[in-house]
Amino acid sequence: MTTRARTTGLPGWIFVPATLGAVFVLLPLVAIIARVDWANFVPLITSESSRAALWLSLRTSTVSTVLCVLLGVPMAVVLARTEFRGQGVLRSLVLLPLVLPPVVGGLALLYTFGRRGLLGETFSAWGIEIAFSAAAVVMAQTFVSMPFLVVSLEGALRTAGERYEVVAATLGAGPTTVFRRVTLPLVLPGLLSGAVLAFARALGEFGATVTFAGSLQGTTQTLPSLIYQQRVTDPDAAVALALVLVVVAVVVIGFARQGRGSTR
């Protein structure tokens, strides 16, 4: 069976900057692979600190993804299915963590939930300390990753349109039934794609986490913060762990693309 190249009609010169861009992105990844100490790769990624950081990252990223779904799905539905004054401003604020430096997000969380923060003093009076705890890791990850789910799901909702929901409502289905039986199944691939992207963003979060939660081994030290620490004390371990994150990112992107492809 022969495969013919698709005729694109693109100008030939456009492939030159496209190739340069691809090389610019891929070359550093190749450099990481070339730098890995393959003889000691397994011991490097299975040390006690590495296992603790990876396990913490996986746990907190999973919890933060669940929070993103619980909070982000209603937010995306409201933005996609309603119109109200100030909606554009609200959307911009919701998506702000996408462009906000993570360390700024960490400071914002610290000044909100820290011991002397806006709400932190009240929590401290109740004996609840949030900053520099595992809960702070989850909150930081949720803060930076939720916009990815909101953007993905809002786009899926707008693409799907409202005709099926209107038909269901016309046939007598209540708003909750329409949401549960029509809206969610209709945009499920987009929801899964957004959740996967949110998980990946949470797994790779560093700046906000370190600022708000610190980097205490076994408690708040995630894999990215361990890599940052090891780059000085043990570069081989840092490179090995970085490769683990790269592999996870590639797998996650594959799942996300598969979810988007199923919507077409």
User: According to the model, what pLDDT value does residue 7 have?
Assistant: 54
CB 195 within 8 A of CB 93: no
User: According to the model, what pLDDT value does residue 255 have?
Assistant: 73
Cα–Cα distances in Å, from 145 out to 33, 104, 152, 169, 208? 27, 15, 12, 33, 11
User: According to the model, what pLDDT value does residue 6 have?
Assistant: 60
CB 113 within 8 A of CB 120: yes
User: According to the model, what pLDDT value does residue 262 have?
Assistant: 54
User: According to the model, what pLDDT value does residue 1 have?
Assistant: 46
Alpha carbon dihedral 155, 192, 109, 229, in 10-degree steps, equals: -120
User: According to the model, what pLDDT value does residue 251 have?
Assistant: 83
pLDDT in tens, the chain (264 residues): 444 546 567 888 999 999 999 999 999 999 999 999 999 999 999 999 999 999 999 999 999 999 999 999 999 999 998 888 888 898 888 889 988 999 999 999 999 999 888 898 888 889 889 999 999 999 999 999 999 999 999 989 988 888 988 898 888 888 899 898 999 998 998 898 899 889 999 999 999 999 999 998 889 999 999 999 998 889 999 999 999 988 888 887 777 666 555 545
pLDDT tens, residue by residue, 46-73:
999 999 999 999 999 999 999 999 999 9
Of 131, 259, 109, 129, residue with least CA distance to 199: 259
Whole-model pTM over 0.85: yes
Q: Which residues of 91-110 are buried (b: 16+ CB within 10 A; e: fewer)?
A: beebbebeebebeebbbbbb
Q: How many C-alpha atoms does 243 have within 13 Å on its Cβ side?
A: 18
The domain defined by 39-261 folds into: MetI-like fold (1.10.3720)
Q: What's the residue count for the chain?
A: 264
Spatial distance between the Cα atoms of 72 and 146, rounded to a whole number of angstroms: 6
Cα–Cα distances in Å, from 53 out to 22, 76, 220? 31, 32, 8
Cα–Cα distances in Å, from 48 out to 14, 30, 52, 68, 230? 49, 27, 6, 30, 13
In terms of C-beta density within 10 A (0-12 exposed, 13-18 middle, 19 or more buried), how is residue 254 classed?
A: exposed
